[in-house]
Chains A and B, each alone.
Chain A
């Protein structure tokens, strides 16, 4: 078994699992939660090794169907998007790992509520009557909420994911954050990546970009330009970039791949959802002449 994987109990009882680049925060509610945590730990211990066996395939936009359970979750999640967009299974890795750990927990014990948070990409379990309050955060360095959502057991959504250029993974766009709520965490993960990419102002001089491979030699994005920094944008520009992202979100919403997307850029927000009731977004008024300094 892996000697790298580490398992810790946080002071409030949640668990923190760590292995290589993966950090999971898990919480399970129910009388047999301990059994669920054990099952998740056992499952988690081999996940990274399994993924690494197939890394070349997972970093490629096409190829045979992968073998591993998590790898298949990744490939299945990106497949409906990849028909019309460049996307490798890696776009869903965080969500897929979260799903897998959650599945281990819910198979091991009946739980009233549980989640696995993989760096902001979250798989949820809700027994009838249960709900989660979700807070949306635009910038990792400022823990202010730009919106809230409530997911109940009656909703179809069981996954939440956030993407943006400020995050640890590369983005082709300029969104501070795009949070997507979808049926599964891996779908949300893939969709958030695409929608964040679409929040963009192509050719804008204030946006600094570089080929992905110049930063990470093994990036699945190859020579594609990824965002390194975003300078000052006018209110109009922010609105235009958000509108571009919102069109992308509406496309996937229309195809039933996502439930909702909340887009955040420069303090402005956009919500794309079939039913806006469960969501509240803070959208401060922005006059056209005020410029929002970013980065």
Chain B
């Protein structure tokens, strides 16, 4: 355009509007403010009550009883949900909002990050064997991640990441994106592990492994369980075996039994003895007793040494969660014969169960705020990283606290259950869209090269929000907005 007036051309979308000073483009989101292209659209303001599962303001209005007051109390936290963004973020972040917090002028820069570099870390509380370490984890048959370390009472899975999102096949990327989105938005996702189990994962809910709802998280490994309950078992039974795929414990040999003066029983365990009373690899991993592939616990007992064992010897076998248990007495041939669990031992077995916490799935969203996203906050992106490092800037995601990884960049993790429901979106790139906010003192913001000219008082944002009813529709109630054209 060769005209010499000061209209500017917006390049945020292919409409490529020419925008006159003081006017907005066709979208009403970008405006010409004194020759600068600025972002002006309303966005989601989340107040804390809404965070408890309520609805979010931007599209919630519109019920006929709505008073028009979306602001209400003073506890508004400006979140990035619905703030929108552009990519790459060479334009200032959609909202840079100032408010007074404890008398200090605070600035919150809110944006929605588009993360190609992102994924979820899953902690699945189960002793059942989900699959071998490094095994591929699939959704709808597509590889979306892998099994990683086994941790206390739980199995870790790592899903997503740039390799599945963008380096695999087209379907792989799309399915990965959908699985991440559903997990982050609190929906159940079925995952199958190569050479392992099928597990349904939902944030904050118990996992379902091969169709079986997981109830409890183990109280400890087999050896630890012996240590915890030795005193309660001693004198009531001659031998106790706590069956555990990781570390099976044997009372009579265990340090705890020795200290109590437990008599040798001559039991011979399968697997590899690590230290007295602690056995590794008594069976293969599986979904049976104690996360091993056994349904009959005697499979892990090789026999009894006649030098020490005696007819009538009693033995309790119990899994690490107490969900499975069996009681035996040796016959004249020193073969264990199952009998009903005596009442005196039932209490201790129930106590094992009682001390197992409910099994849950935890979903942590992990993403890195790349240079371009940071550029939306400051003209000098690395200073934002330094500011976060120096704890001058607080990072939140949809208002939820995040853990920021040490090291380079701003790579953070957040518990998805702390964000409002459906706070995550996606773009077909594919990539996940997640809210991120940076909060800092106004003077710190200026010091790190922030877009200070973009700072808008909170009151102004709220006022503008009120003045613009956007699309609203409640069971067919149409409010007109002035959208589109």
Q: A165-173, A199-207, A244-252: which lies at the B interface?
A: A165-173
Q: Is the CB of B86 within 8 A of A140?
A: no
Q: Is the CB of A164 within 8 A of B480?
A: yes
Q: Is the CB of A218 within 8 A of B17?
A: yes
Within 8 Å CB of B112, what residues of A? 6
User: Which residues of B (442-485) have their CB < 8 Å from a CB of A?
Assistant: 466-485
| A141 on the B face (CB < 8 A) | yes
With contacts A3-B87, A4-B13, A143-B68 taken as known, whether A134 is within 8 angstroms of B476 at the C-beta atoms is: yes
Q: Is the CB of B421 within 8 A of A11?
A: yes
Q: Is the CB of B481 within 8 A of A168?
A: yes
| B55 on the A face (CB < 8 A) | yes
Q: B24-32, B271-279, B330-338: which lies at the A interface?
A: B24-32
Q: Is the CB of A217 within 8 A of B20?
A: yes
Other-chain residue from B56, B64, B467, B484 in contact with A93 (beta carbon distance below 8 A): B484
Nearest-Cβ distance from residue A131 to partner chain B, whole angstroms: 8
| A67 on the B face (CB < 8 A) | no
| B293 on the A face (CB < 8 A) | no
Nearest-Cβ distance from residue B455 to partner chain A, whole angstroms: 25
Q: B148-156, B316-324, B426-434: which lies at the A interface?
A: B426-434
What sequence of 0s and 1s flags, for each residue 128-163 of chain A, a beta carbon within 8 Å of any chain B beta carbon? 000011111100111101000001000000001010
Q: Is the CB of B485 within 8 A of A141?
A: no
Within 8 Å CB of B484, what residues of A? 21-23, 93-94, 97, 118-119, 121, 168-169
Question: In whole angstroms, what is the CA distance A49 to B16 when docked?
Answer: 11
With contacts A25-B471, A48-B13, A120-B471 taken as known, whether A5 is within 8 angstroms of B27 at the C-beta atoms is: no
Nearest-Cβ distance from residue B56 to partner chain A, whole angstroms: 5
Tell me the nearest residue of chain A to B50, going by C-beta. A11
Q: Is the CB of A168 within 8 A of B483?
A: yes
Residue of B60, B87, B474, B479 most packed against chain A (CB within 10 A): B479
Q: Is the CB of B482 within 8 A of A168?
A: yes
Main SS of the interface on chain B?
A: loop
Q: Is the CB of A9 within 8 A of B425?
A: yes
Question: In whole angstroms, what is the CA distance A208 to B241 when docked?
Answer: 90
With contacts A5-B427, A21-B484, A23-B471 taken as known, whether A132 is within 8 angstroms of B476 at the C-beta atoms is: yes
Other-chain residue from B27, B62, B476, B480 in contact with A167 (beta carbon distance below 8 A): B480
Number of B interface residues at 8 Å Cβ cutoff, please give it: 62
With contacts A119-B482, A218-B18 taken as known, whether A9 is within 8 angstroms of B84 at the C-beta atoms is: no
Nearest-Cβ distance from residue B24 to partner chain A, whole angstroms: 9
Question: In whole angstroms, what is the CA distance A170 to B304 when docked?
Answer: 92
Within 8 Å CB of B84, what residues of A? 6, 18
Q: Is the CB of B62 within 8 A of A5?
A: no
Nearest-Cβ distance from residue A164 to partner chain B, whole angstroms: 7
Within 8 Å CB of B59, what residues of A? 10, 14, 16, 25
Q: Is the CB of B12 within 8 A of A20?
A: yes
Nearest-Cβ distance from residue B273 to partner chain A, whole angstroms: 53
Nearest-Cβ distance from residue A17 to partner chain B, whole angstroms: 10
Within 8 Å CB of A90, what residues of B? 485
Within 8 Å CB of A179, what residues of B? 478, 480
With contacts A20-B12, A120-B478, A136-B478 taken as known, whether A141 is within 8 angstroms of B467 at the C-beta atoms is: yes
Q: Is the CB of B28 within 8 A of A21?
A: yes
Can you list 21 A-B pairs with a CB-CB distance of less than 8 A? A3-B428, A5-B428, A6-B112, A7-B427, A10-B59, A14-B473, A20-B14, A21-B27, A21-B483, A23-B484, A48-B14, A118-B484, A119-B470, A134-B476, A143-B61, A143-B62, A143-B472, A169-B485, A215-B20, A217-B1, A218-B17
Nearest 5 A/B pairs, CB to CB: A119-B483, A168-B482, A20-B13, A135-B477, A167-B482
- Chain A contact residues, CB within 8 Å of chain B: 1-12, 14, 16, 18-23, 25, 27, 41-42, 45, 48-49, 52, 55, 90, 93-94, 97, 115, 117-122, 132-137, 140-143, 145, 151, 160, 162, 164, 166-169, 177, 179, 214-218
Contacts A48-B14, A151-B476, A169-B484 supplied; 9 other A-B pairs, CB < 8 Å: A7-B425, A20-B27, A21-B26, A21-B483, A135-B479, A141-B467, A143-B472, A179-B478, A216-B26
